Structure 1
Amino acid sequence: MRDLHSNVALATLIGAASLAADNTPGAVDLLGYSSAEIALAIGIGGITFTSSNKIEFVLTHSDDDSTYTAVTDDDMIGVTGISSGIIKSLTSAHAAAASYRYGYKGGKRYLKLLADFSGTHGAGTPIAAMVIKGNPEVAPVADQA
Structure 2
Amino acid sequence: MRDLHSNLQMVQSLDPAVTLTDRMGAPIDRQGYESVEHLVLVGTSGDALSPTLSLSLRLDESEDGSSWAPVGNDSDVVGGPVDPGGLFAVIDNVAADGGTYAIGYIGNARYSRVAVLLDGVHATGTPVGAVSLLSHGTLKPHT
Q: Is the TM-score greater than 0.5?
A: yes
Shift of the alpha carbon at 1:66?
Answer: 2.8
Q: What is the aligned-residue identity percentage?
A: 27
Give unmatched runs, 5+ long, in structure 2.
none
Question: Residue 100 in 1 paired to residue 101 in 2?
Answer: yes
Contact 1:12 1:28 in 2 (8 A): no
Instruction: Tell whether 2:6 aligns with 1:6.
Output: yes
**Residue in 2 aligned with 1:138?**
139
Mapped to 2, the partners of 1:71 and 1:139 lie a distance apart of 29
Aligned CA distance change for structure 1 residues 25 and 139 (closer, same or farther; 3 Å): same
Equivalent position SS for 1:131: strand
Tell me how large the CA RMSD over aligned residues is. Answer: 1.8
Shift of 1:13: 2.0
Distance 1:18 1:136, change over 3 A: same
CA contact (8 A) 2:38 2:114 kept: no
Partners of 2:104 and 2:60 lie apart in 1 by: 13
* C-alpha contact 2:105 2:112 (8 A) present in aligned 1: no
Q: 1:132 to 1:76 in 2, by over 3 A?
A: same
- Supply the AA of the counterpart residue of 2:41: A
- 1:41 maps to which residue? 41
Give 1:108's aligned amino acid: A
Verify: 1:115 aligned to 2:123, yes or no.
no
Q: How far has the Cα of 1:95 moved from its partner?
A: 6.7
After superposing the two structures, state which structure 1 stretch, 65-74 or 27-36, moved more.
Answer: 65-74
The one-letter code matched in structure 1 to 2:75 is D
Classify 1:57/1:81 alpha carbon distance in 2 versus 1 (closer, same or farther; 3 Å).
Answer: closer
Residue by residue, what CA displacement relative to the aligned partner does 1:48-85 show, whole Å, maximum 9, x if unpaired?
Answer: 21222111111110112232211121211112152311
Structure 1 unaligned spans of 5+: none
Give secondary structure in 1 for the equivalent of 2:37.
strand
Q: Which runs of 4+ in 1 moved over 4 A?
A: none
Q: Which residue of 2 aligns with 1:79?
A: 80
Name the CA distance, whole Å, in 1 between partners of 2:58 and 2:82.
13
Distance 2:20 2:121 in 1: 9
Question: Is contact 1:44–1:97 with CA below 8 Å preserved after alignment?
Answer: yes
Output the CA distance in 2 between the equivalents of 1:130 and 1:69.
20
Given that 1:45 and 1:95 are in contact with CA atoms closer than 8 Å, whether structure 2 keeps it comes out as no
- Deviation at 1:124? 1.6
